[in-house]
Chain A
Amino acid sequence: MYEVWKLCWTNLKHKKVQNSFIAIIIMLAALLLSTAVSVLNNTNRMYESMHDQSRGAHQILQLENGIHDPVQVHTWWEEQSGVTVSDLMRYRYLSSMSHAGEEILNVDLFMMDAPEGPFPVDRLQFVEGEEQSTPEAGTAWIPTSLAYSNDIHVGDSVEFKTDEGVIRLKVAAVVVDISYCSPFATSGRIWLNHEDYTKHMTLLPGEDKYMTGLRFEDYSQQRAYWERFEQYLGTPYLESVKDFESLSSYYMIANQVISFVMIFLAVVMICVALYTLGFTIADAILSNYRTIGIIKSVGLSSRKVIMAYVAQYTFLALVSVIPGMLVSNILSGTIVAGSMAYLNTGSSGMNDLLSVAGVWTSVGVVAVIFLSALLFANKARHVEPAQAVRYGMSEKEYSHQSGGTGTWKRKLLQLDTLPTSMIIGLRSVTKNIRGSLLIVLISTLSTAVLVFGFLFVYSIASIHGTIAKWGYDSADLSIRIDNPAKMTFAQLQEEVLSDPRVKNYSRYGDANAVVPIPMKDGAAVKQDTMGILLTVADGNYDQIGYENVDGRNPVSANEISVGVNVARTLGIQAGDTMDIYIEGVKHTLTVTGIYQAIANMSNTGRITADVIKTSNPDYGSAMNTTFMNLNEGTSTDSFVKELQERYGSVLGIASQASLVDEVFSQAVKIIVLPVSVMALLFIVITFVIIYSICRINMKKESRTYGIYKSIGMTSRQIRLSETTGILVVSGIGALVGIPLGLLGLPPLLNVILSDYGIVKVPLIMNGGGIASMIPLSVIAAGLGCWAASKSIQSASPRVLVVD
């Protein structure tokens, strides 16, 4: 065995460039892959462990319309075994909160009448402030999602505007409230003392709403419970239910997108690594053909020769996977910590030193390298000593080479029109078809990744431009009436909306609805239902800029447009009709359009207020938001400022841009780091691969360079011509990479995001930015070649020729 080790060690020691080159590629591939896997895994693990620890709800029933008796519903669930049920909690909605004089934009608050803690379901985890069974009078507990993003701490005071005035409460605790803490969420539960709730909330117009959380011992059994529950009710359950999938989805979305993209790229990179490995081993065997022959002639068996190669590359893989794994731990830790910050209680094991999944991934990488080394090194089996020593290659190849081939190449490079340096450069390119192919491949990939990465980040960062394609309105600003006692809609119309700068406006509200899901086969006895959230417009969807992927916006009292996931679940298309229960009343509506929306994973619908008014003529008073567009030439910001100064206490006014920023700045923060890391990795890989290919080639060609030098070419000329050749080749790669990045990779995003309600991710083509990505990999390639050719500089013709 010693001889195998000796051989392996000599190869490791004497082929430093090739070996470090393989090592770096393996390291980066392991880094990407194990980062992706750890991010996915840790996100899930962290969420699940927090969900278990808090005894998180699987479903949350919101009884808001008085259709079912809350107590009766609550009691029925409490009687079931295998289900833990929270107290029946009273709440009201508020949509205004300010801290330190700053209005917090875009919030939907559940003002909760806190029951005695600790809660049996959705137990709060106290991050700041002392854990108590219930908040003291005059204080409130707020969720981490609101606290962290607005820098609110225990002891600060927060204000809530209501119809009756302003409530000021002191923050007594910041809590992780598992079901309402996800990133990108705009809703949160504010926990109030019972007296405070009674004092401030019950005075407000409207009725108390009720909420109860359900936690199943076995979540997969929930259908059976629901069947019995609806049997008991005698009707379908017509209020809203939030289920586990939607409660957890936003914890996962960013990391899932990132991880899937990363895994995809890592797999690509591993393929490149394997190809490179094959290339290098084949090259090592070819260039050592004679040596292998000698070694075999002293009696070393083929098996052992192969073993030496396999040992060499497995060793390299082992050595390089370790730093990859360590860095990936840091990287994935950072990514997870960033996106899961709201779950961080400071005590949980966020930064486990080694992620088990990461370790397994690395083991997998080593195994793959081992197997491919075995495959590629098999070439050495056929080395016949006498032939190897005589020809330095196999007899077959020898006889192949002595027959004339490759005339087209010679012809191509005889063109008198090309400058000499170009011909010299291209000569080495065509001579090394395999190496050149690898260069094209890697330039293509890295250009594609750079272009796609830029496209993705740029599109998220400038999401204002495509906001309607993410399911939001694209109005200039929104106005919410916080205090109807001081300002009615009629007054608003008179004072604000009639302003000559206002181009158009619509009023919006929302409503919960339940949709029966038609059973397949038509043999339905019992019906399944799904709860969806409806946007209700008194006005014009088109003006406010809502868009559809198919069909048009609803305009009349019997029309609806639905989100892609609703359409998918129901199996309907534009033009079909559907039954829907709104506030307990059944309507049959024609589907006019299908749209995609990231909010609520497209489990939503859009109707006009006329639909509800047919059964509830008073509905209009519940519509407290108005979206408006301004005439051209009017500055939205100054208009918003002006209104805020005049109506600050009764109206919530915000430009659409600032609302969008609020949600998506988080997203940008989360994705920028990993995408930049990936882009950087690919640039580094390009440099490393090209550097190494050039080094290998230049070693082989050193005799030729010696001859060039001895006939009077300068080193600079030789290096320039080599680099020119590489620039041409990688330029070809970059050209192929652009369409791949622009058209090939985006569908990947569509696949990942379609579960979240976005079937066609709206990307913004920014020509300048994309163009600026193209030269990056070509430059990296050129630099790689230039650096690799440094050895030509120092060597004298004698050294080059003798080598």
Chain B
Amino acid sequence: MFNKKLWGAALLVLATSCALLNTVSVTSIPANRAKPVTAEAHDWVILGLNFENGFVDTVRDKLREQCPNGKVSGILTKYEHVSYFLWYKRSVSATGYCETGVKL
């Protein structure tokens, strides 16, 4: 009985998380919003030990891949944390609109 309670408490502690929003930004939003595109990148940090922020660099390329010949605008970028017991997840998400037929 005691063991079950202990396991339950441990599971509760491990599953409990807090969300923290660090930064938000938006760029100019186009009139044509027919094709939304979205990209996300994240990494996990254990005990606050983190030596690299490289995961961020992939977000823009992921957006571009979804709109190879068009313009991506109206980009909402969010950088957030979800904090668990002794570790946390950092994630950067970007959503925007793909406009095709736009000339450079």
A and B found bound together: no
- Which residues of B are in contact with A by a Cβ distance under 8 Å? none
- Which residues of A are in contact with B by a Cβ distance under 8 Å? none
